[in-house]
Structure 1
Amino acid sequence: MMAMDTGLQVWLDTVPGTRPSVIVPYVRSPENGTVRYQLSAVRQGRSGSSSIKQSGTVPMQADRPTALTRFSLSVGSQDQCRIELILFANGHPAGTYTFACPRNP
């Protein structure tokens, strides 16, 4: 999953062999700078609901993938789940990115 806005590439990756899944959002920029992020993940299912909220600031090097954070999330096959990232690059709004949550195998 990848989306592009203001020259940024944003995607999610999962750490292989982890249960519940460890999810790592990445960003790549064509220039050096800093990115501030606000992350929210919301899961709803038969067993109830859960949410994760994180924020932070991370330095970026040009054309190098940068991990913003990592978090774990268990998502069942019938659960509704989404992850939203709001990014600010070098102090300016850089986009809002929404992803479906990766599913546990």
Structure 2
Amino acid sequence: MMAADVNLQVWLDTVPGTRPSVMIPYVKSHEAGVIQYQLHATRKGAGGTSSINQSGDVRVQAGHPTALTQFSMSLGAQDQCKIELTLFANGHETGTYQFDCPRPR
């Protein structure tokens, strides 16, 4: 069973060359167990507002990066975009992480 105060590393990666950009949040834990996540991504621009909401459970192995989910979002040059990821272990929040949306190169 994973402790609620578990030390986690969390980051956001993108799949190179994808349009729209495919984004993958990862987590790495020092303990094996199940992590629950809630992901909220919001884009605001001239064309309006769009949002993505996902949640789920993921089994992690100690010391191994685990992809939580993957999603894609089109971004215009002037769009505002943010990603918020909240993680839980055993029903207790372990942290909330905010990311800027990666811009296409």
Output the TM-score relative to the length of structure 2: 0.91
Q: What fraction of aligned residue pairs are identical, expressed as a percent?
A: 66
Indicate yes or no: 2:94 matched with 1:104. Answer: no
Partner of 1:10: 10
Partner of 2:58: 58
Do the aligned residues in 2 keep the contact of 1:76 with 1:104 (CA within 8 Å)?
Answer: no
1:39-96 Cα distance to aligned partner (Å, 9 max, x none):
0000000111100000000000001000000000111221110000010024321100
How many corresponding residue pairs? 101
Aligned residue type for 2:54 = Q
Runs of 4 or more consecutive aligned structure 1 residues displaced over 6 Å after TM superposition? none
1:27-49 Cα distance to aligned partner (Å, 9 max, x none):
00001011000000000001111
RMSD: 1.2
Do the aligned residues in 1 keep the contact of 2:82 with 2:99 (CA within 8 Å)?
Answer: yes
Partner of 1:83: 83
Aligned residue type for 1:75 = L
Do the aligned residues in 1 keep the contact of 2:6 with 2:30 (CA within 8 Å)?
Answer: no
Rounded to whole Å, the distance in 2 between the matches of 1:79 and 1:55 is 24
Structure 1 residue ranges without an equivalent (≥5):
none
Rounded to whole Å, the distance in 2 between the matches of 1:20 and 1:98 is 20
Do the aligned residues in 1 keep the contact of 2:6 with 2:31 (CA within 8 Å)?
Answer: no
Structure 2 residue ranges without an equivalent (≥5):
none
- 5-14 vs 75-84, which moves further: 5-14
- Summarize the alignment of residues 27-42 of structure 1 with structure 2, pairs less than 5 Å apart: 27-42=27-42
